[in-house]
Amino acid sequence: MNGPELRQDPTTKDWVVIAAGRAKRPHAFAESKPASSALTYDPSCPFCVGNEALTPPEVYRDNDTSGAWRVRVVPNKFAALTPDAKTERTEGFFRRAPGVGYHEVVIETPDHAGDLADLSVEHVARVLRAYRERQRALSLDPRVRFVIIFRNHGERAGTSLAHPHSQIVATPIVPAYMRRRHEIAERHFDDTGRCLYRDVQEAERADGSRLVEDTDGFMVFVPFASHVPFETWIVPHTLRPSFVLVTDEELDNLARVLRNSLRRLRACLGDVDYNYIVHSSPRKDEDEDYYLWHVQIVPRLTRPAGFEIGSHMSINTVEPEAAAEQLRAVRGEELS
């Protein structure tokens, strides 16, 4: 590269600084972190088998044939939003609204040490099915306007409990950021008659330099204007605005592709902290075919500093093409 460059994210119109000259070599990112638990059971963990009474009553349960649970969903004990919030709406200069919503925890496995990347594809599919069923259920409450599903892996990604879990939050407003993304997609549809995310997919496929895999109904790539090193998107071939609409067959394929993507990251970067997010259309727009649900994986290799917090611009020190090349090179044993 001839010095730093700016790249515009077509889905948000944000400019990202790609400054590979500033890069530390990837292994320099790795930080000493506490080894994950080797124990399959921790007596003080509220998500372990036998400690079910430590969580609020479950709202979803996936049993094996013996009646033992494989996946459980429970309300978050420290919920950011609750269905019965009594706070009042105020108007005027300082606008308040009740913190009404849902915050649930998906306990992905009874095994305290069973990381998602190590579960069977079939088990990952069960976790994904729990996501979809709960997103569907929460969307039935007319106060819910938006549902987001996410996973925090590692302390730098904001995890407080080691036992493998994901979270689902349902909010009574559409976050301004999601509204903007949605408006950009809507404008693109009005201008071109096409789905923006489909066009992103086709442009990435045509370019090819940032592709990681493109099979089984899903395309995996490192976006052109990745905000952070090794950011990875998983975008389905079949256009659906919301994750609530995915089929069982798609979930089975996604399970393999998602697990592959997490294993690729681990092969390149070690047991890196990351978040992933399942992005869907706002609840009322589930029929609008200009949006496309997708999974965004965000490794937490770098920390946002004053520039990023003050400008909301990102500085990415790894060229997306270089990250994709490394992820693509992971094969064989490391994936299966």
* Footprint of a second copy on 8-37 (CB under 8 A): 8, 10, 12-15, 17-19, 21-22
Nearer to a second copy, 306 or 332 (CB): 306
Give the span between the Cα atoms of 159 and 275, in whole angstroms.
10
Residues 205-244 that bind a second copy (CB under 8 A): 207, 224-225
Provide the CA 24 distance to its chain's centre, in angstroms. 26
DSSP helix/strand/coil, 99? coil
Residues 264-303 that bind a second copy (CB under 8 A): 275-277, 279, 296, 298, 302-303
Nearer to a second copy, 204 or 252 (CB): 204
Scanning 196-204, 239-247, 249-257, 261-269 for contacts with a second copy by CB under 8 A, the matching segment is 196-204
Burial (CB count within 10 angstroms: exposed 0-12, middle 13-18, buried 19+), residue 151: buried
Q: Give DSSP secondary structure letters for 278-316.
A: EE---GGGTT-TT---EEEEEE--S---HHHHHH--EEE
- For the four alpha carbons of 266, 269, 275 and 281, in that order, the dihedral sign comes to negative
Q: CA angle, corner 124, sides to 121 and 125, nearest 5?
A: 85
Binding of a second copy by 175 (CB under 8 A)? yes
Backbone angles phi, psi at 128, to 5 degrees: -65, -35
Nearer to a second copy, 127 or 330 (CB): 127
Binding of a second copy by 158 (CB under 8 A)? yes
Binding of a second copy by 7 (CB under 8 A)? yes
Report the DSSP beta bridge partners of residue 147. 170
Instruction: Single out the residue of 95, 142, 190, 333 in contact with a second copy (rule: CB under 8 A).
Output: 95
Residues 57-86 that bind a second copy (CB under 8 A): 78-82, 84-86
Q: Which of 299, 293, 300 is nearest to 131 (CA)?
A: 293
Closest approach of a second copy to the CB of residue 278, in Å: 8
Closest approach of a second copy to the CB of residue 259, in Å: 18
Backbone angles phi, psi at 171, to 5 degrees: -110, 150
Binding of a second copy by 183 (CB under 8 A)? no
Find the length of the chain. Answer: 336
Q: Is 27 a catalytic residue?
A: no
Binding of a second copy by 93 (CB under 8 A)? yes
Q: Give DSSP secondary structure letters for 208-244.
A: -TTEEEEETTEEEE--TT-SSTT-EEEEESS--SSGG
On whether the CB atoms of residues 196 and 10 are closer than 8 A, the answer is yes
Instruction: Single out the residue of 98, 266, 288, 321 in contact with a second copy (rule: CB under 8 A).
Output: 98
Q: Which of 210, 260, 203, 253 is nearest to 230 (CA)?
A: 210
Nearer to a second copy, 224 or 230 (CB): 224
Closest approach of a second copy to the CB of residue 249, in Å: 25
Residues 115-154 that bind a second copy (CB under 8 A): 146, 148, 150-152
Nearer to a second copy, 22 or 331 (CB): 22
Scanning 39-47, 110-118, 172-180, 261-269 for contacts with a second copy by CB under 8 A, the matching segment is 172-180
- For the four alpha carbons of 278, 281, 282 and 284, in that order, the dihedral sign comes to negative
The single residue of 103, 163, 165, 294 carrying the catalytic annotation is 165
Nearer to a second copy, 7 or 61 (CB): 7
Active site residues: 165
